[in-house]
C-alpha cells in the first residue's frame, strides 16, 4: 500500500524501534563497560573462599635436632541447616563431655549474626575449637550419627623440649593491628607473636591456600569454581635451622634453674648464638592453644618478670669484666704500654681500693689475673689525661670521646642492628654530654668518673653484649653480630675494631692466668685452655650480681660465654661454674665434672639466691 497518505509514518515507527534498541545498547554499554563495580558484587555473591592453612615451618637446632613442630588440633564444625529435626543433641554432648546447656549457649552464639558476622546456616560454623585428639576420638567414630557435624583439622605448635622459650617465642591469634598492617592476615589466623616466631614469621608461615567454591543464592556450596582453575594450593612454611645447641641450652637452663640470671654462649668465629638462657622462663607449651591467654596473663603478672628476656634486655654494670676492654683501649690509645706497672696498696689504695691480695707494683697480666682495681684506675686516668686538660677542659673531653668511641666499637651502648634477635636493650656508655649535664662543662675530670675504670658507675651492658665482648677478644679484634638463624647470609657482616691484635693477645694471656692462678682457678679445666674474667657488680638495690665472661680454648676459640646471676655475690662463686660447665659441655660434648655440677646445685639449694 505504497500510495496511501500515511505512508511516511512507517519511518516514524521504524525510528521508534531503532531508538529503543539504541537506548538499550547505551544502557548496556554503561552497565557492562563503564560500571566497574558489578564484577566485584558478582564475585561477592557467588564465590566462597575456603582458606587452606599451610603447616608452619619446623625449627631445628644447629645439629638438626627437631625443636618445634606442629600438633594437630581439631575444630568441631556444624552446618545448621543439615542438622535435621531429630538431631541427637544429648548424644553429641555426651561424646564431647559437655552439658546440654554449653551446647545450647554455643549454638545461640553462632547463630547470632551480630556476634558471628559470617554466619550462614548453610556453611560450616565452628562449634568447638582446638580440641585434642583425645577429646574428639569418641565423636569421630560415631560422626555418621550427627548430620551437619564435621571435624576440621588445624595445627598448633608443639615443642620437643621445655626449653628456649625466649628464643623461640610463641604463636598466637592475630589482632586488628596485624590485620591492618598486613592484608595477608584475616581474623582468626595465627602469627608469630614474639621471638623467632615473630622475626621469621613470613618465612615460617608459608602461604595460605585458597579454594574457590561456588555458593548459590541460598548460601549452599555448589562445588568448585571453574574446576579449581583459580584455586591456590597452600604452600607450607619453610623449615629453619637455628644456631642454638639444644644440649648446651638445656644444661645452661638447668644450671640457672632457681636463680634469676642469664647466660649467653656464642661461637666467636661466626657470631652464632649457641645458647641464650634467661631465667626465670616458662615451658613454651604453656603458650599454645586455648590455655595461651590465661597463661600469658600469669606470666605477665609474675613479679620476677619471666617474659623479659634478661639475656638481651636486662642491663647491668659490667664490673671487673670491663677491665679487659679498659686494658685494650688504654694500650691502643697510649695510656699504658705492655710494660707499664702501677703500685697497689691493697685496701689502703686511693682513690679506689684493691680487694685482692697480691704483690706490688703490678703489670697488665697480673692486674687482669688479680683484678687489681688501682691498676685500671691509673691506666684509665693516664689514658684520659695523656695530654692534660686543656684551657677549657677540651683536650680532656676529646680524650674521653676517643675512649668512648673505642669502647663502642665493641658493640656496647647500642643495639645490634644486623641481627635477628628481636628484643634488645641498648645499654649505656655515658656520653660527654651526659657528664656535662650532671657536673657542668668544666665540672668533671678523670677522678670524677673513676668508677668507669672498673666497670661501675653509669656503664650498663646486656649479657648478650658481654658475650659478644668475650667473642671479640677470642677473635682478637673482630666480631660478627650474634644471631640465631644458621642459614641467613645477611647476618655475617664482620665488624672490625681498631685495636691491634698484639694487645688482644696480651689480654688473652691475662684471662688465661685468671683461670690458672686468679679468681677462676677453682673452675678451670687445663686441657680446655680456658680464658675468663670474673666480675662482682655492686648493686645498690641488694646483693651483688655475679658475672663471668670467657672463652675456650685460648687459641682458635670455639665458644665464648657470658653469665650473669643476680643478687648472689661473687662472680667466681656463682657465675664462673655455670660458664665453665657450659664450655665443658660444648667442647667435650658432655659434662665430666658431675660432682661439680651436683655441688653447684646443692650450693643453690643452700643459698637464698632465688627471690621466690
Partner 1 sequence: MSRNGSVLKNLDWTTLFIFVALALFGWMNIYGASFTYERTGIFDFANPSGRQFVWFLGGLLIGGIILILDYKMYDMLAYIFYAAMILLLLATPILAHNVKGSYSWINIGPLVFQPAEFAKCVVALAVAKYMGSYGYRVRDWRDLWIPAVLIVVPMFIIMVLQRETGTALVFLAFLLPFYRQGMSGLVLLAGVLAIVVFIVVIRFSILPVAIGLVVLFAILIWRTWKIKRFYRWVLAGMLVVYLGFAGICNFAFTKVLQPHQRVRIEVLLGMKDDPSGAGYNVNQARIAIGSGRFFGKGYLRGTQTKLRYVPEQDTDFIFCTVGEEWGFFGSVLVLVLYAIFILRLIQMAERQHDTFSQIYCYSVASIFFFHLTINVGMVLDLLPVIGIPLPFFSYGGSSMWGFCLLLFIALRLDAARVEKWH
Contact 125, 80 (CB under 8 A): yes
Binding to partner 1 (CB under 8 A) within 400-419 occurs at: none
Q: Counting contacts by CB under 8 A, is residue 6 touching partner 1? A: yes
- Find the part of the chain contacting partner 1 (CB under 8 A) among 10-18, 440-448, 480-488, 499-507: 10-18
The answer to whether the peptide bond before residue 294 is cis (omega within 30 degrees of 0) is no
**DSSP characters for 548-566?**
EEEEE-SSS--EEEEEEET
Residue closer to partner 1 by CB (options 212, 480) is 212
Closest alpha carbon to 70 in 197, 195, 163, 178: 197
- Closer to partner 1 by CB, 114 or 357: give it: 114
Of the two residues 2 and 294, which places its CB atom closer to partner 1 in the complex? 2
Our measurement of the distance from residue 148's CA atom to the centroid of its chain's CA atoms, rounded to an integer in Å, reads 43
- For the bound state, the minimum distance from the C-beta of residue 26 to partner 1, rounded and expressed in Å, comes to 10
Q: Is 3 in the site for partner 1 (CB under 8 A)?
A: no
Q: Which residue bears the cell 677549657?
A: 392
Return the residues of window 133-152 that contact partner 1 according to CB under 8 A: none
In sequence order, what are the residues at sequence separation of 6 or more whose Cβ sits closer than 8 angstroms to the Cβ of residue 449?
A: 400, 430, 435, 457, 458
Question: Which residue in 223, 228, 213 sits closest to 50, CA to CA?
Answer: 213
Q: How far apart are CA 561 and CA 551, in angstroms?
A: 6
The nearer residue to partner 1, 33 or 594, going by C-beta atoms, is 33
The answer to the question of residue 118 lying near partner 1 (CB under 8 A) is no
**Distance from C-alpha of 205 to C-alpha of 412, rounded to nearest angstrom:** 34
Question: Is 113 a binder of partner 1 (CB under 8 A)?
Answer: no
Bridge partners of 531, per DSSP, are 551
Interatomic CA distance for residues 162 and 220, integer angstroms? 46
Residue from 150, 214, 236, 426 touching partner 1 (CB under 8 A): that is 214
* Piece of the chain touching partner 1 by CB under 8 A; list 33-41, 65-73, 391-399, 424-432: 33-41
Cell numbers 653469665 label which residue?
Answer: 563
Comparison of 211 and 432: residue with beta carbon closer to partner 1: 211
- Output 14 or 590, the one with its CB closest to partner 1: 14
Among 113, 153, 181, 218, binds partner 1 (CB under 8 A): 218
The DSSP line for 227-287 is GGTT-B--BPPPPEEBS--HHHHHHHHHHHTTS-EEEEEEETTTTEEEEEEEES---GGGG
For partner 1 (CB under 8 A), the number of binding residues is 43
Q: Is 18 in the site for partner 1 (CB under 8 A)?
A: yes
Asked if 7 is part of the footprint of partner 1 (rule: CB under 8 A), the reply reads: yes
Of 114 and 612, which has the nearer Cβ to partner 1?
114
Choose between 9 and 181: whose C-beta lies nearer to partner 1: 9
59: cell is: 625449627
Smallest distance from the beta carbon of 44 to partner 1, in angstroms?
9
Chain residues that interact with partner 1, rule: CB under 8 A: 1-2, 5-7, 9-10, 12-14, 16-18, 20-21, 23-25, 27-29, 31-33, 35, 37-39, 41-43, 45-47, 214-218, 222-223, 225-226
Amino acid at each position: 500500500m505504497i500510495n496511501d497518505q500515511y505512508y511516511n509514518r512507517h519511518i516514524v515507527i521504524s525510528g521508534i524501534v531503532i531508538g529503543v534498541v539504541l537506548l538499550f545498547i547505551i544502557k548496556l554499554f554503561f552497565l557492562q563497560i563503564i560500571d566497574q563495580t558489578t564484577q566485584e558484587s558478582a564475585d561477592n555473591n557467588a564465590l566462597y573462599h575456603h582458606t587452606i592453612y599451610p603447616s608452619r615451618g619446623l625449627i631445628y637446632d644447629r645439629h638438626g635436632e627437631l625443636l618445634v613442630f606442629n600438633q594437630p588440633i581439631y575444630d568441631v564444625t556444624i552446618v545448621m541447616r543439615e542438622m535435621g529435626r531429630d538431631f541427637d543433641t544429648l548424644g553429641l554432648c555426651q561424646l564431647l563431655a559437655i552439658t546440654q546447656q554449653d551446647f545450647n549457649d554455643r549454638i545461640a552464639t553462632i547463630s547470632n549474626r551480630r556476634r558471628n558476622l559470617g554466619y550462614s546456616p548453610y556453611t560450616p560454623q565452628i562449634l568447638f575449637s582446638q580440641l585434642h585428639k583425645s577429646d574428639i576420638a569418641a565423636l569421630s567414630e560415631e560422626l555418621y550419627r550427627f548430620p551437619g557435624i564435621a571435624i576440621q583439622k588445624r595445627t598448633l605448635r608443639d615443642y620437643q623440649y621445655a626449653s628456649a622459650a625466649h628464643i623461640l617465642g610463641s604463636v598466637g591469634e592475630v589482632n586488628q593491628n596485624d590485620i591492618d598492617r598486613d592484608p595477608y592476615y584475616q581474623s582468626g589466623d595465627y602469627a608469630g607473636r614474639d621471638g623467632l616466631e615473630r622475626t621469621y614469621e613470613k618465612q615460617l608461615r608459608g602461604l595460605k591456600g585458597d579454594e574457590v567454591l561456588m555458593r548459590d543464592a541460598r548460601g549452599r556450596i555448589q562445588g568448585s569454581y571453574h574446576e579449581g582453575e583459580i584455586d591456590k594450593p597452600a604452600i607450607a612454611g619453610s623449615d629453619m635451622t637455628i644456631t642454638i645447641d639444644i644440649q648446651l641450652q638445656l644444661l645452661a637452663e638447668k644450671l640457672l634453674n632457681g636463680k634469676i640470671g642469664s647466660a649467653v654462649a656464642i661461637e666467636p668465629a661466626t657470631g652464632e648464638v649457641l645458647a641464650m638462657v634467661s631465667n626465670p622462663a616458662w615451658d613454651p607449651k604453656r603458650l599454645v592453644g586455648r590455655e595461651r591467654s590465661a597463661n600469658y596473663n600469669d606470666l605477665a603478672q609474675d613479679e620476677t618478670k619471666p617474659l623479659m628476656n634478661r639475656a638481651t634486655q636486662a642491663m647491668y654494670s659490667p664490673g671487673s669484666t670491663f677491665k679487659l676492654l679498659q686494658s685494650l683501649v688504654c694500650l691502643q690509645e697510649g695510656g699504658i704500654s705492655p710494660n707499664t706497672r702501677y703500685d697497689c696498696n691493697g685496701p689502703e689504695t686511693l682513690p679506689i681500693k684493691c680487694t685482692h691480695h697480691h704483690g706490688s707494683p703490678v703489670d697488665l697480666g697480673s692486674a687482669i689475673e688479680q683484678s687489681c682495681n688501682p691498676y685500671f684506675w691509673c691506666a684509665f686516668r693516664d689514658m684520659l689525661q695523656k695530654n692534660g686538660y686543656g684551657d677549657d677542659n677540651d683536650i680532656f673531653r676529646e680524650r674521653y670521646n676517643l675512649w668512648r668511641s673505642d669502647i663502642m666499637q665493641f658493640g656496647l651502648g647500642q643495639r645490634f642492628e644486623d641481627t635477628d634477635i628481636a628484643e634488645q636493650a641498648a645499654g649505656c656508655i655515658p656520653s660527654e654530654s651526659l657528664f656535662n649535664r650532671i657536673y657542668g662543662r668544666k665540672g668533671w675530670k678523670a677522678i670524677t668518673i673513676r668508677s668507669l675504670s672498673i666497670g661501675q658507675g653509669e656503664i650498663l651492658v646486656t649479657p648478650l653484649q658481654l658475650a659478644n665482648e668475650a667473642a671479640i677478644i677470642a677473635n682478637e679484634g673482630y666480631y660478627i653480630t650474634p644471631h640465631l638463624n644458621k642459614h641467613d647470609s645477611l647476618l655475617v657482616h664482620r665488624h672490625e675494631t681498631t685495636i691491634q691484635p698484639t694487645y688482644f693477645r696480651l689480654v688473652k694471656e691475662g684471662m688465661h692466668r685468671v683461670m690458672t692462678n686468679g679468681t677462676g682457678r677453682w673452675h678451670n679445666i687445663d686441657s680446655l685452655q680456658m680464658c675468663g674474667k670474673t666480675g662482682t657488680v655492686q648493686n645498690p638495690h641488694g646483693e651483688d650480681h655475679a658475672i663471668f665472661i670467657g672463652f675456650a680454648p685460648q687459641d682458635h676459640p670455639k665458644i665464648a660465654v657470658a653469665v650473669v646471676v643476680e643478687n648472689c655475690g661473687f662472680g667466681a662463686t656463682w657465675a664462673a661454674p655455670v660458664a665453665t660447665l657450659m664450655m665443658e659441655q660444648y667442647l667435650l660434648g658432655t659434662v665430666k665434672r658431675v660432682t661439680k655440677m651436683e655441688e653447684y646445685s646443692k650450693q643453690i639449694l643452700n643459698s637464698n639466691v632465688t627471690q621466690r
